Amino acid sequence: MGNRHPIFTDEHEMLRDSLRRFIATEVAPHADEWEKQGCFPHTELFKRFGELGFLGINLPEKYGGSEAGFVASVVFAEEMGGCNSGGVAASIGLQANIALPYVADNGTEEQKQKYLIPGVKGELIGSLGVTEPGAGSDVASIRTSAVRDGDEYVINGSKMFITNGGIADYVILAAKTDKEAGHSGITLFLVDKGTPGFSVSRELDKLGWRTCNTAELAFEDVRVPRSAMLGEENKGFYSIMAHFQEERLYLAVGSVCGAQKARELASGYAKERVQFGRPIANFQVTRHKIADMATEIEAARQLVYNTIRMYVEQEDCQAEVAMCKLFACEMATRVIDQAIQIFGGYGYMMEYPVQRQWRDARINTIGGGTSEIQREIIGRLLLQ
């Protein structure tokens, strides 16, 4: 609503226009088909995004990126909402905004040549392996271990709910290199697909993000060279926490966009659906629902944009990032639930897209640190 927010420039809007045109013509028209299939042609689509320069928006030019800055990546995250498939947006977004930045920020020159350059081209797909069957938001409690053996590390353990896990060419793996050190004993490794002992245990069947591959990974005496270490030994937790900031902002941005889409769908339906001789948009109860939805969306949007401004200007905004993640993601589930209510029985039918909006949005209060964790972060920071 209103004018363009000050965090965006003319260059950002040019990027937005090109992304919007591409997604509207080459991605969104296939969303229903891909949702039914439970997958999308990832090899072709990743390469197409790479060809157009959309996978390296905030990455160094030296490795094929455009160094357009974090706000440009926010534009990318917003426009990916137009895919009409949360799974496609999550899979591509994981590559562009999470996996590749890990390598760009922590990798050696050799690692950047091996993973970053083909990754920006969409020729090499990455995944991030942090969550485990027994360790989600509590990253420090992971049990996957990496034991030093000469110039190698021997990795044993498993990872759960790994986005792109079954289609990725490599995983950025968090493992304990010092079991007694808690969060100070975690190290990141780059583990290639096909490494002996590394396997996809199973691909997971999910409520939402249906087109996005999500898998459980197993590591049985997987040997990797010391050169596979990403960043410093025992410093992996700090890298994960730093990247969590951006991941949480992306999830908040996506939640605002999903809620906005659902509100637009509900408004359009309310104008057309006739009950008791008039469109349901003419009933005060419906207008008030729409008013509440629009107000919550705008409140979340302004909170998110202001926090992005703080983040870009390097202000201390750890609490605000957690507030964004908490408020925007929970707002989306409330708003989209009300959109389904406006659709009535049709909203519960799989042929209407509003149900997909709800299913795809529901994960956002869980992934990237649950709402409960965000409340804990906010409370701790306010009371310290």
Could you read off the pLDDT of 291-327 as tens digits, one per residue? 999 999 999 999 999 999 999 999 999 999 999 999 9
- Report pLDDT for 137: 80
- Report pLDDT for 155: 98
Question: Is 2's pLDDT higher than 70?
Answer: no
- The predicted model gives 207-224 an average pLDDT of 98
Q: Please identify which of the residues 132, 216, 246, 247 carries the catalytic annotation.
A: 247
Distance (Å, rounded) from C-alpha 89 to C-alpha 212?
A: 8
What is the CATH topology of the domain spanning 127-234? Answer: Butyryl-CoA Dehydrogenase, subunit A; domain 2 (2.40.110)
Confidence of residue 167 (pLDDT cuts 50, 70, 90): very high
Confidence of residue 236 (pLDDT cuts 50, 70, 90): very high
Q: Which two tokens stand for residue 247?
A: 């991941």
How many Cα atoms are found within 13 Å in the side-chain-facing hemisphere of 254? 34
Closest C-alpha to 248, from 54, 74, 15: 74
- Determine the CATH number of domain 237-383: 1.20.140.10
Task: List, for residues 89-148, the tens digit of each pLDDT value.
Answer: 999 999 999 999 999 999 999 999 999 999 999 999 999 999 999 887 888 899 999 999
**C-beta separation of 121 from 71 below 8 A:** no
Close Cβ partners of 232 (under 8 Å, ≥ 6 residues apart): 187
Question: Bridge-partner residues for 187, per DSSP?
Answer: 175
Question: Is 232's pLDDT higher than 80?
Answer: yes
**C-beta separation of 256 from 328 below 8 A:** yes
For residue 200, CA distances in Å to 23, 44, 150, 161, 217 come to: 30, 22, 27, 11, 5
Specify the amino acid at residue 87.
G
What is the CATH topology of the domain spanning 10-124? Answer: Butyryl-Coa Dehydrogenase, subunit A; domain 1 (1.10.540)
251-263: buried (b, 16+ CB within 10 Å) or exposed (e) per residue?
Answer: bbbbbbbbbbbbb
- Report pLDDT for 308: 98
Specify the amino acid at residue 128.
L
> Does the active-site annotation cover 13?
no
Question: Is 1's pLDDT higher than 70?
Answer: no
Distance (Å, rounded) from C-alpha 125 to C-alpha 63?
A: 15
Distance (Å, rounded) from C-alpha 70 to C-alpha 8?
A: 11
- The predicted model gives 142-165 an average pLDDT of 97
Q: Is 161 exposed, middle or buried (0-12, 13-18, 19+ CB in 10 A)?
A: buried
- Report pLDDT for 277: 97
Confidence of residue 3 (pLDDT cuts 50, 70, 90): confident
Instruction: Specify the domain boundaries for CATH 1.10.540.10 within the chain.
Output: 10-124
Say which range, 71-80, 137-146, 163-172, 346-355, has the weakest mean pLDDT.
137-146
Task: List, for residues 186-203, the tens digit of each pLDDT value.
Answer: 999 999 999 999 999 999
State the residue for tokens 């590394």. Answer: 198
Distance (Å, rounded) from C-alpha 57 to C-alpha 66?
A: 5
Distance (Å, rounded) from C-alpha 127 to C-alpha 26?
A: 24
State the residue for tokens 């087109």. Answer: 211
Q: Is 76 exposed, middle or buried (0-12, 13-18, 19+ CB in 10 A)?
A: buried
- Report pLDDT for 138: 84
- Report pLDDT for 68: 97
Confidence of residue 217 (pLDDT cuts 50, 70, 90): very high
Percent with pLDDT over 70 in the chain: 99
- Report pLDDT for 135: 85
